[in-house]
Amino acid sequence: MSLKNLIDTNKLPQHIAVIMDGNGRWAKEQGKNRIFGHSNGVKSVREVSEACAELGVKYLTLYAFSTENWNRPKLEVVALMELLVQTIRKETRTLMDNNIRLKAIGNIETLPSRCHKELLESIEITKNNSAMDLVLALSYSGRDEILQAVKAISKEVQAKQINADDLTEEDIQKHLFTNEIPDPELLIRTSGENRISNFLLWQMAYTEFYFTETYWPEFRKENLYEAILDYQKRERRFGKTSEQISTPS
Ligand code: IPE
Ligand code: IPE
Ligand code: MG
C-alpha cells in the first residue's frame, strides 16, 4: 500500500522546501563520477514535483545551487549548469501539462547567460499556470538575500520614504526573493546531513525540519509521503503551550 493513502489532505503543508543533497556520495557508491549523481538527481526532481502537484501542495522550493557551490571544481559547475539548461528545456512541456508555474530565487543573473535565458523563458511560458509554484533556488544564499533587503531598505530610509523606527518584519519580507511566497512549513534534507547550509534563513524561523539518510538520487514519491506523514504527527506550537493549541481560546 502507498503511504499516500495515510496523508491527511486537510493538514498538508502548503509549502515544502527541499535541500537536495547526496548526489556525489551516491555516485561514488556506484563507482561513478559526481556528475552521474547530479544527472540521476533529475529523476527525483520530477518525482517529487509530480507528487507535490498531485497532492495539492501549492509551493515546492528546491535548493539546486548555492552561492557557495560556485567554489566547486570548475568542471562540476559547468556540468551542473549544462544539466540545468537541458532539464529546463526538456521539462517545460511537463510543467505546462501539469499546470505548474516555474519561479526562481537567488542571484540568477550570475548564471551563465544561456542558463539565465533558458530559465527566464520557461518562467515566462509557465507564468499563467496555477496548480503549483515550483521554485528553484539558484545561486542562492540566505544571508545575501537578507543583506540585499537591508541595503534596499537603507536606501528608502536615506531617501526619507520610510522612517527607521516604523520598520516592520513585513518590510523585510517584502524585499526578499520570496516576497510572494509563504514561509515553508516543512523542510526536507536528504543524505544524512543535519544543517541548513545558508538556505531560506529568514523564512525558516518556524519551519519543521525533516532529515533523512536517503541520498537525493534515490528519493522517490514514497519518501516524500513519509516526510509529510512525519510532519503531520507534529504539534506546531509557535511558542504556546500544548494545552493552548488543543483548546484555542
Ligand atoms: C547535492 O549533492 C547537489 C548540489 C549541491 C548541487 P552534492 O553534490 O552536494 O552531493 P554530496 O553532498 O557531495 O554527496
Ligand atoms: C547545499 O548542499 C546546497 C544544495 C543542495 C544546492 P551542499 O552539499 O553544497 O551543502 P554543504 O556545503 O555540504 O553544507
Ligand atoms: Mg552535498
DSSP characters for 32-99?
A: --HHHHHHHHHHHHHHHHHHHHHHT-SEEEEEEEEGGGGGS-HHHHHHHHHHHHHHHHHHHHHHHHTT
pLDDT digit string, tens, across residues 83-135: 999 999 999 999 999 999 999 999 999 999 999 999 999 999 999 999 999 99
- Tally of CB atoms within 10 A around 37: 21
- The dihedral built from the CA positions of residue 119, 126, 201 and 160, taken in this order, carries a sign that is positive
Q: What's the 158 CA to ligand 2 centre distance in angstroms?
A: 37
Query: What pLDDT score was predicted for residue 247?
Result: 82
- Tally of CB atoms within 10 A around 175: 16
The stretch 201-212 carries a mean pLDDT of 98
Burial grade of 203 (CB within 10 A; 0-12, 13-18, 19 or more): buried
Q: What's the 144 CA to ligand 1 centre distance in angstroms?
A: 21
Query: What pLDDT score was predicted for residue 249?
Result: 66
Indicate which CATH number applies to the domain containing 75: 3.40.1180.10
Give dist(CA 169, CA 19) in Å, integer. Answer: 25
Give dist(CA 26, CA 215) in Å, integer. Answer: 6
Please check whether residue 223 lies inside any domain of the structure: yes
pLDDT digit string, tens, across residues 44-57: 999 999 999 999 99
Number of domains in the chain: 1
Q: pTM for this structure?
A: 0.97
Place of cell 539558484: 138
Beta strands in the chain (DSSP E): 15-19, 59-66, 100-105, 132-140, 186-189, 208-211
Spatial CB neighbours of 126, under 8 Å, sequence gap ≥ 6: 92, 95, 96, 100, 101, 102
Please check whether residue 78 lies inside any domain of the structure: yes
Question: Which of 137, 81, 87 lies closest to 111, judged by CA?
Answer: 81
Please check whether residue 244 lies inside any domain of the structure: no
Please check whether residue 89 lies inside any domain of the structure: yes
Please check whether residue 243 lies inside any domain of the structure: no
- Would you state the cell numbers that stand for residue 12, as one nine-digit string? 498538508
Count, residues in the chain: 249
Please check whether residue 116 lies inside any domain of the structure: yes
Please check whether residue 221 lies inside any domain of the structure: yes
Please check whether residue 2 lies inside any domain of the structure: no
Q: Is the CB of 22 under 6 A from ligand 1?
A: yes
For ligand 2, atom 7: residue with the closest CA: 21
Q: What's the 139 CA to ligand 1 centre distance in angstroms?
A: 14
pLDDT digit string, tens, across residues 3-51: 999 999 999 999 999 999 999 999 999 999 999 999 999 999 999 999 9
Its domain, for residue 113, covers: 10-141+183-233
pLDDT digit string, tens, across residues 150-175: 999 999 999 999 999 999 999 999 99
Q: Please state the separation of Cα 238 from the chain's center in Å.
A: 22
Cα distances (angstroms) measured from residue 199 to each of 19, 174, 187: 8, 18, 10
Q: Is the CB of 184 under 6 A from ligand 1?
A: no
Burial grade of 230 (CB within 10 A; 0-12, 13-18, 19 or more): middle
Q: Which residues are catalytic?
A: 21, 69
Place of cell 543573473: 109
Q: Is the CB of 20 under 6 A from ligand 1?
A: yes
Cα distances (angstroms) measured from residue 184 to each of 1, 4, 17, 205, 242: 28, 20, 6, 9, 22
